[in-house]
Structure 1
């Protein structure tokens, strides 16, 4: 039986605001198998980004259990989380979050450097597929939004992570550019055997994923 790459069970996340406590995730059960993809949809403030932050280790669970590739994260400290993020996780942000002191090639190579790896044929494939080969020496601040997002995708997938978290990756792009980016993102992730959890408000973007779950009132509602 195939082991889930991500498994949340009885997961709860509470935020305290003064004397008030707000429940964002309420007794969530969620799993993702390797090399599969799922879209998380829901209204703003429904907890979609919070869920990604929990899986990435940026936010702790209030209660419940998170298993990553079969490992219980309850006792993980900074070294274990850093190892997971460097080797097994890629992240694509809505705001691109590129490293502005670096050029395009240096941005893409950044996760490789963290893993003591060198530029390789997979990087060449990413650059060619994303059509950014002529931009490698360019400063990232000189690029258009669509170009920056393609660079961000290449950076997130350069080390061939097992898991990609994408938080509204087309939110700052027009519709046509957004759909082109989603097509490339899903194709390349599949080639690299990378699973995807996508947060999006766009049903068109969600349709690129193999499954979709909707967050409402702190609970998942499965959708076809």
Structure 2
């Protein structure tokens, strides 16, 4: 059985902008194995978020192959993508994307309910480690940006996903809080054996990952 969770083979992606065509990804090959942690850097507009969206099935490639757990996604329907995201994927968005009518506990439990799972000791451990135990019953709208970011990480890791996609996970935090969150994120991912692909502009954040890829002019360099 392959150790690779994500495998991109000769993947290209571009967009039409009026009468111009922008090549964002150009015959990219990459592989993310179990428990790999990877920082993805590159200039603004280089396609970093596009690459994350492709792996999460939110955008689709123009050519090449995307394999997830050795399965070619070319013929996946919406239901297959939904199942993969629900069971195997955690996502931390730059804008958190928390469910504002709900409190902290119900936000974290949301991914569990999608998988017919109950709250576990792992969830208690997450909220303890992330320092949000005292705000567990508060509505997420009342929290600071740093607290909301920690809730988003807890929600993404609650079901112990195989793969975590993180888009600028510390972009809204000051440097000290960002370093704390990165240290916790890497520790928790290690304990749950979750692979990470993280987009970041921060060299400090990138240094927490085992590997570093740089995306520029459609190509990835390690």
- TM-score, normalised to structure 1, is 0.98
- Determine the C-alpha separation between the residues in 1 that align with 2:133 and 2:19: 54
Match of 1:30 in 2: 30
The question of 1:116 aligning with 2:116 is answered yes
Unmatched 5+ stretches in structure 1: none
Q: CA deviation at 1:131?
A: 1.2
Partner of residue 69, structure 1: 69
CA distance in 2, matches of 1:128, 1:172: 22
**Shift in Å, 1:2:** 4.5
Partner of 2:39: 39
Partner of 1:130: 130
Write out aligned runs for 1:11-30 (5 A): 11-30=11-30
Instruction: Tell me how far 1:210 sits from its aligned partner.
Output: 0.2
- Structure 2 Cα separation of the partners of residues 22 and 130 of structure 1: 40
SS of corresponding position for 1:11: strand
Q: SS where residue 58 of structure 1 aligns?
A: coil
1:3 Cα offset (Å): 2.3
- Any stretches of 5+ residues in structure 2 without a counterpart? none
The 3-state SS of whatever aligns with 1:166 is strand
Count how many residue pairs are aligned between Structure 1 and Structure 2. Answer: 222
> C-alpha deviations, 1:142-162, integer Å up to 9, x for none?
111110000000000000000
2:154 maps to which residue? 154
Q: Structure 1 residue 94: deviation in Å?
A: 1.1
Q: What secondary structure, in the 3-state scheme, does the structure 1 residue paired with 2:196 have?
A: strand
In the superposition, the TM-score normalised over structure 2's length comes to: 0.99
What root-mean-square deviation, in Å, do the aligned CA atoms of Structure 1 and Structure 2 show?
0.8
Q: Does the CA-based 8 Å contact 2:7-2:29 persist in structure 1?
A: yes
Match of 1:173 in 2: 173
